[in-house]
Chain A
Amino acid sequence: MKSHILFNVGFAVVFFLAFTFILSLYKDDFVQALDSDDYFPKDATLGMNACQNWTEDVRDFNPTEVAEEISVLMYHRVVADDDVADIHLDENGEMLSTVITKSAFEAQMKLLHDENYTTLTAKELEYFIKGDLEIPEKSVVLTFDDGFKDNAIEVYPVLKKYDMNAISFIITSAIKKYDQDYQASEYQYFSLDDLKNTCDVFEFQSHTYNFHKREKDHTPYLIGKEDPIVEKDLQASLYNLEGRNQAFASPYGEYDEENIELFKKLGFNIAFTTNPVSTEIGTNPYEIPRKEIFPSDSIEDFKQKIE
């Protein structure tokens, strides 16, 4: 009997190619299904300390005109204009306040660039508040809350292009171990790959491990839960972040005095609120205000917010 070796190998190869093809068709569905209810483990690290070293450097600006007060801007999601879907709209068909279009975002960043704005790191901001660092008159801090995947897809290239940097407050439990295809119409968060690919522009800080939630009576977890429980959650996020505790942003911008004591205890140097005013020397470092940029903001509105 002949061994049919060529035929067999060919047949097996075709089989494996076809099988791989079918698996690849459904790969994302499997990844999504397996990953969807899974939190990023508390006892694992996101592993990007090495590429976040730049956030430790404090630049020597030697500005000709020194800033008295600056704006910290707050964003959440940025989606391409074509990608805007029902999920981004409220019941009246208006864009949710947490979503802006990429074209608007690009125009804003272009303006910052054209006007020679400097984007500060969290550490530089801290030094500025404490009066230890002179910063240019035209300085701004960009912050992105929650760590949506669109930040990696849409925001990153724009910031990279203009050589700017931003703080990204991530809910570390939401980080995905496996990368998925980006879909604007879903709530997707950074994957480990996304973190790695964008860590030269974003400095990643804690937005809790898994406490971006409210109690039934709408009290945010940070306020509603007992302090030791909150502490555990924040500690988990810090473990994920390998101890990087330069800055913290409270979910919904809501916090109480005990929270502030906890931030201090955990070694955070600064914490942010959502109070839309300017920041100046002497601002309480644990209550740094932020101005949210809304989808309805015109470029003139934006100008006012950064001035």
Chain B
Amino acid sequence: MFLHITLGLFALFIVFQLLYILYPLFYVKKDPDQQELEKGISVIVPAYNEEKVILNCMQGILNLDYSNYEIIFVNDGSEDDTLKILIDNLEFEPTYRKLPAVKIPHEEVRDVYQSKKYPKIFLLDKENGGKADALNAGTEYAAKEIVVTLDADSVLDSASLKAISLNFQQEDVVAAGGLVQISQGFEGNFTNPTPTFRIPGLIRYQVIQYLTAFYLHKLTQARLKSIVVIAGAFGAFRKQALFDINGYRKTVGEDMDVTLRIHQLIKTNKKYKQSKLIFIPEAICYTECPATLRDLYGQRIRWQKAFVDCFFHFKKAFFRKLGIRLSIFFLVDALLLGTLNAFPIVIIPFMLLFNADNFMIALALFTITIFLASYQSTVMMIVSRRFGMHYSRINLIKVIFFIPFEIVTYRLLGLAFIITGTLMYFKNKDSWHVSRRVGNTNTFKPTPLTDKEAV
């Protein structure tokens, strides 16, 4: 019986792996249409105790190849110098011209500022209420049709808003995920980033993981209308849709929560019947990933808790309110297989423990897992290259040698995070580990702020 269950799950695992290998491989990138008029975009940057990194996102903002946008920083009652740094550097002054839509509740906004230096940049200073609350306040004050959420430490690629605007020309697009790259995996400057693999193993692992998650998983899920999460670091929404779902919910994983509720909106609200969530691989932002095991641990535990929380919150909504395909991806791929991520590898010692005769089966599962993982990584490299991730030959060799090693080492780490995160969710549902920021210590050299004046 145990063996049958194992092999059944393994077969499911293979089905999803094959999907994630074949669909992205045969994906043909659409040639961009002629850019019509720019859609108005409000970029919301929530910040809570982000003094070390709050200015990082300015690198991208100042280099944007776009004009119809506004930036709204939301200081969520930070206890450090986040507010002061913003005001000092961007010359913020109070303004009375910006008013809320009064559609979704949030903690009180103390002051609204506008930058004297860059008039498209605003700042809300509000009482602390958590990230979801800060995003709600930002959405309230957003003047444009499309809301983009951006983490304070994330840097927009210069073409990113253009790509979002282009895709939102289609009226049925209601939300979209951008592609998040790890900034430590690039060198040069933000206007001309070059991928590099001369980075520590822990970051290499995350680079591979992000590339796989976006170029393989998201691409496939988007095609099957089953995007499970629009990454909080970089997502785009029609503002009206955010109003219609009554804003973000205060939870540890507001990004997955909002994604699922958008799905629910599409399935249950007639107005949104034709709407869809998409993935825009050309809309890129660069984010700094945790550089130490401790920070990575904190981040991943938070993600896993968020996932488990969403599962319980939506447990009655699956299938009927969330649709069949999304539910299958969430429950089978993410929950069943994902929460036992390295499932085949983990199950092997148990198999041997229960019955030593199963040695050959264990070996078989192991071989197949390694084979699929290697092939998937190869496809990942091919697809990301087609999207413009050109590693130099030396870096490519580094990648090729790293991947087999990564499969049997770092990937197991991910499993430990998942198990611990799940257990900790049940132990303490509300603990919120804020990952420490190391500031800009990577090889990615920021362009000094003063170089660019015109916004």
Contact = CB atoms under 8 A, between A and B. Distances in A.
A26 B360 contact: yes
A264 B233 CA distance: 80
A3 B7 CA distance: 36
Contact of B371 (A11, A22, A36): A22
B31 interface: yes
B358 A11 contact: no
Contacts of A1: 28-31, 386
B21 A15 contact: yes
A8 B382 CA distance: 10
A33 B3 contact: yes
Contact of B360 (A4, A23, A29, A34): A29
A18 to B, nearest CB: 7
Contacts of A36: 357
Contacts of A12: 22, 25-26
B375 A15 contact: yes
Contact of B386 (A4, A18, A26): A4
Interface stretch (B120-128, B195-203, B291-299, B361-369): B361-369
A12 B367 CA distance: 19
Given A1-B31, A8-B25, A15-B375, A33 B361 contact: yes
Given A8-B25, A12-B22, A33 B358 contact: yes
Contacts of B367: 22, 25-26
Contacts of B427: none
A262 B372 CA distance: 57
A103 to B, nearest CB: 32
Interface string B387-419: 000000000000000000000000000000000
Contact of B361 (A4, A11, A15, A30): A30
Contacts of A19: 368, 371-372
A8 B26 contact: yes
Contacts of A3: 28
Interface in B308-366: 357-358, 360-361, 363-364
Contacts of B4: 34
Contact of A29 (B25, B30, B364, B386): B364
Contacts of B29: 1
Interface in A1-53: 1, 3-4, 8, 11-12, 15, 18-19, 22-23, 25-26, 29-30, 33-34, 36
Nearest to B387: A1
Contacts of A11: 25, 379, 382
Interface in B267-284: none
Contacts of B364: 25-26, 29-30
B388 to A, nearest CB: 10
Nearest to B372: A19
B370 to A, nearest CB: 10
A34 B386 contact: no
A29 B361 CA distance: 6
Contacts of B26: 8, 12
Nearest to B6: A33
Nearest to B359: A29
A36 B3 CA distance: 11
Nearest to B361: A33
A34 B361 CA distance: 10
Contacts of B379: 11
A4 B28 CA distance: 8
Contact of A30 (B7, B25, B382): B7
A26 B367 CA distance: 10
A22 B368 contact: yes
A22 B7 CA distance: 16
Among A1, A25, A26, A33, chain B packs the most CB atoms within 10 A around the CB of A33
Contacts of B31: 1
A225 B315 CA distance: 51
B352 to A, nearest CB: 13
A29 B372 CA distance: 19
Contacts of B360: 26, 29, 33
A21 to B, nearest CB: 10
Nearest to A4: B386
Nearest to B376: A15
A279 B22 CA distance: 69
Contacts of B358: 33
Nearest to B375: A15
Contacts of B372: 19
Interface in B136-187: none
A36 B26 CA distance: 41
Contacts of B3: 33-34
Nearest to B378: A11
Interface string B16-39: 000001100110111100000000
A190 B4 CA distance: 23
Nearest to B4: A34
A1 B364 CA distance: 39
B199 to A, nearest CB: 28
Contacts of B22: 12
A160 to B, nearest CB: 34
Nearest to B386: A1
A36 B355 CA distance: 13
A18 B363 CA distance: 17
B11 to A, nearest CB: 11
Contacts of A30: 7, 361, 364
A34 to B, nearest CB: 7
A36 B371 CA distance: 27
Contacts of A34: 3-4, 7
B373 to A, nearest CB: 13
Interface of B: 3-4, 7, 21-22, 25-26, 28-31, 357-358, 360-361, 363-364, 367-368, 371-372, 375, 379, 382, 386
Given A19-B372, A25-B367, A26-B361, 15 more contacts: A1-B386, A3-B28, A4-B386, A11-B382, A25-B364, A26-B363, A26-B364, A26-B367, A29-B360, A30-B364, A33-B358, A33-B360, A33-B361, A34-B7, A36-B357
25 contacts: A1-B29, A1-B386, A3-B28, A8-B25, A11-B25, A11-B379, A11-B382, A12-B22, A12-B25, A15-B375, A18-B375, A19-B368, A22-B367, A22-B368, A23-B368, A26-B360, A26-B363, A26-B364, A26-B367, A29-B361, A30-B7, A33-B360, A34-B4, A34-B7, A36-B357
